[in-house]
Amino acid sequence: MDVDIRYGPSFAMAVINLPPGSEVKAEAGAMTTMSGGVEIETKAQGGLLKGLKRSVLGGESFFINTFRAPSGGELALTPTLPGDLIHLPVTGSPVLVQSGSWMASDAGVDVDTTWGGGRTFFSGEGLFLLRCTGSGDMLVSSYGAIERRSLAAGEVLKVDTGHIVAFTESIRYEVAKVGGWKSTLLSGEGLVATLTGPGDLWIQTRSPSDFLGWLIPKLPANRD
């Protein structure tokens, strides 16, 4: 994928150069501009049942847009939330992406859902991770900036679940309360993921759920 990421880390946009005959899969609604020679096809990726599984369980749109450039062209994509984008290669080693962060990928990358562990049911950050396999490149978005961390074998890092963007499948993870229930409720912290290397991890500097928790109480109540 020949991509130029601009305006990050606050308001990133990906400008993709599409060679003749190439195609890119993208999250529905991500397209900002496309040149006249680019064609778009909208469908449930992988068929109806797989698309429904990804939509209901993975937090992703039911439909995926496929952009094709028979004679070449340019495509610009932007994520929903203000933040950064990374150009992440998938080279046979699976990458797990937090639901809502996947934005686009080459045709050779398969995007599927996998259960994120029973205890993530209580995280409030999305129940599922997207498991990305195959060969190609993908674009992953964040709320805020993205920081990459490389964990050595046996190295442990604890991360608030709302700040996880993606990690390689070689990393083992468990999700649990930050302390007792009193600490969890009163400390302002939710559940944390304990990640054990080796592998690479990408985290975001802001949490969408934390922002909503701040914003919603300030919205005016409905008065019928």
Query: At 222, is the secondary structure helix, strand, or coil?
Result: coil
Mean pLDDT of 188-206: 87
pTM value is: 0.80
- Of the segments 120-134, 144-158, 206-220, which one has the largest average pLDDT value? 144-158
How much is the pLDDT for 103?
A: 94
Going by pLDDT thresholds of 50, 70 and 90, the confidence category of residue 119 is very low
For the residues 165-175, what does the mean pLDDT come to? 91
Tokens of 175: 């999700």
Is residue 45 very low, low, confident or very high in pLDDT (cuts 50, 70, 90)? low
pLDDT at 130 over 70: yes
Domains of the chain: 2-218 (3.60.160.10)
Compute the mean pLDDT over every residue in the chain, rounded to the nearest whole number: 82
Neighbour-count burial for 16-45, b at 16+ CB within 10 Å, e otherwise: bebeeebebbbbeebbeebeeebeeeeebb
* pLDDT tops 70 at residue 51: no
* pLDDT score at 56: 52
| Helix or strand (DSSP H, E) at 215 | helix 208-215
Mean predicted confidence (pLDDT) in 131-151: 94
Take residue 150 and report the two structure tokens written for it: 């490389």
- Name the pLDDT band for 161 (thresholds 50, 70, 90): confident
Does residue 120 surpass a pLDDT of 60?
no
pLDDT at residue 179 is higher than 60: no
Residue 79 CB partners (closer than 8 Å, separation 6+): 12, 27, 30, 85, 103, 141, 142
Going by pLDDT thresholds of 50, 70 and 90, the confidence category of residue 112 is: confident
Among residues of the chain, what percentage have pLDDT more than 70? 78
| CA nearest neighbour of 43 among 30, 34, 32, 52 | 52
Single-letter amino acid, residue 166? A
pLDDT at 22: 94
51-60, 135-144, 206-215: least confident range: 51-60
